[in-house]
Structure 1
Amino acid sequence: MILCLDSGNSRIKWGVHDGTLWLAQGAVPHARLGELAQLPTRWPEVSRVMLANVAGEAAAHRIEDALGGWRELVQEVKSSEFAGGVRNGYRQPERLGIDRWCALIGAHAMVAGPLLVVMAGTATTVDTLDDEGAFLGGMILPGIGLMLRALARETAALPFANGKHDPLPRCTDDAIVSGVLEAQAGAIERAFRRLPGSNGLCVLSGGNAARIAEHLSIPYQLIDNLPLEGLLRLAQESSV
């Protein structure tokens, strides 16, 4: 049994897999990561712990401390030149964010063909994967919340908007929210047009994925917790 942990900027997502299916998945904010201490009691059969962490070394240590007796089982995954059927085209492969790397591996394992892999969380990442599993490059832009906070913080008159999307907004809150969502969707659609081949698909994951997806005019699929899927593939690959 495998525990996979995706430690992002805001939350730690976790999933327990028995080799056939996910038995449970969940998430805790970093401020409450002590709740992870419940996992060894709930799932004592776990024999491996796979960790993808972008929240810094201190967060990794806190996660290991919370896991108590499982500390020795933790394998912190790093980006590499090749793994899980994906070839890393970054100029410095080890500098690719591990959440992006795991999401690419998970997407490639689950969906055939050229893919645009979008992780929509605190930041939005938009990565291009060809049908042979080569990561060709990608973009990072502020996520929805960051864009909204930037406008509220860095301008004198604009609020932290609580509006709705409208093709022709007629109030400030709607204008801000519509602009942010259109910016996210527009960046994704521009990247999609550069996908190699003619049968591409956009795969989206993350807390804001569904909110962005409803404004896309390209073929897409929502998949929960893509980095966990990638971690699972890496664990299975290393056990062969």
Structure 2
Amino acid sequence: MLLAIDAGNTNVVFAVMDGRQVRARWRIATDPRRTADEYVVWLSQLLALEGIERAAVTEVVIGTVVPRALHNLRTLSIKYFGGEPIVAGADGWPLVLDVDEPQSLGADRALNAIAAHAAYSGDLIVVDFGTATTFDVVDYTGAYKGGIIAPGINLSLDALVTAAAKLPRIAIEAPEDTRVIGRNTVDQMHIGIFWGYVAMLEGLIARLKAEIGRPARVIATGGLAVLFEQHTDCFDAVAHDLTLTGLAMMAERTHMAR
């Protein structure tokens, strides 16, 4: 089996993959100082709870947007899983990067583009809800054309609460109804954060579609996609495991190249 590791700015996701299917997954807060030994103690217990022997993992693939985290994750693979990991993007990406600075594209965005193009036809807009919310445009040939980076909803809320001393910290959740005239501070914050974010999503997606000039399907991914999918009709599909699927595909590609 394959251990796919998606190291993001906020969390590192570990997933045991059977082909392109996720058998089990766990997440831990991203900390570049966390050692391979610390990772394996935590991970071994979780594998055991799922009835998976550590020896059953025969390969590791890593995608990271946190360069300082890579060393300890690579050490984890070599020391405890028996070999050098596949590092997604280390030898380039199997897609055309039709942008001004292809070297600056984050691994998660490239992986999403690869997996989305394999799963869906035509022009695509991939919206990934992470630390940042990213919008990536992939044309019908599979070429990556660019996109948008916006603050993630948690980041937006943190900035608001930090900068305004009298505002309380609130949970990120949908308001109870669609009213946008709040009657108290907490309601007003919920409305501003949630419906303001929905308005941003719908507005930017509309602008992207107009600029593409052809019908485009919108694919949402990331942990917070489920929060919005029931409150807007701008998504055509939600693919929760898009980045992990992209990692599995990179492992497949490496096998074919050997």
Same fold (TM over 0.5): yes
What pairs with 1:1-240 in structure 2 (closer than 5 Å)? 1-19=1-19, 21-30=21-30, 33-34=39-40, 35-38=42-45, 42-57=53-68, 59-67=69-77, 68-70=79-81, 72-78=83-89, 82-83=93-94, 86-162=95-171, 164-165=174-175, 166-168=178-180, 169-193=182-206, 194-195=208-209, 196=212, 198-240=214-256
Matched residues, percent identical?
Answer: 28
TM-score, normalised via structure 1 length: 0.86
Secondary structure of residue in 1 paired with 2:168: coil
Residues 146-202 of structure 1: CA distance to partner in whole angstroms, max 9, x if unpaired?
111111111232222347424323222222222222333233323322233554221
Distance 1:18 1:141 in 2: 33
Distance 2:19 2:220 in 1: 24
Distance 2:67 2:101 in 1: 19
> What amino acid sits opposite 2:87 in the alignment?
E
Contact 2:55 2:81 in 1 (8 A): no
TM-score, normalised via structure 2 length: 0.80
Secondary structure of residue in 2 paired with 1:27: strand
> What amino acid sits opposite 1:175 in the alignment?
Q
Deviation larger for 39-48 or 69-78: 39-48
Q: 1:184 to 1:122 in 2, by over 3 A?
A: same
Distance 1:212 1:176 in 2: 17
> What amino acid sits opposite 1:143 in the alignment?
G
Unpaired segments of 5 or more residues in structure 2?
A: 32-37
Q: Which residue of 1 aligns with 2:34?
A: none
Larger radius of gyration: 2
Distance 1:234 1:208 in 2: 25
How many angstroms does 1:82 deviate by? 4.3
> What amino acid sits opposite 2:188 in the alignment?
A
Deviation larger for 221-230 or 177-186: 177-186
Contact 1:2 1:50 in 2 (8 A): yes
RMSD of aligned residue pairs (Cα, Å): 2.6
Secondary structure of residue in 2 paired with 1:189: helix
Paired residue total:
237
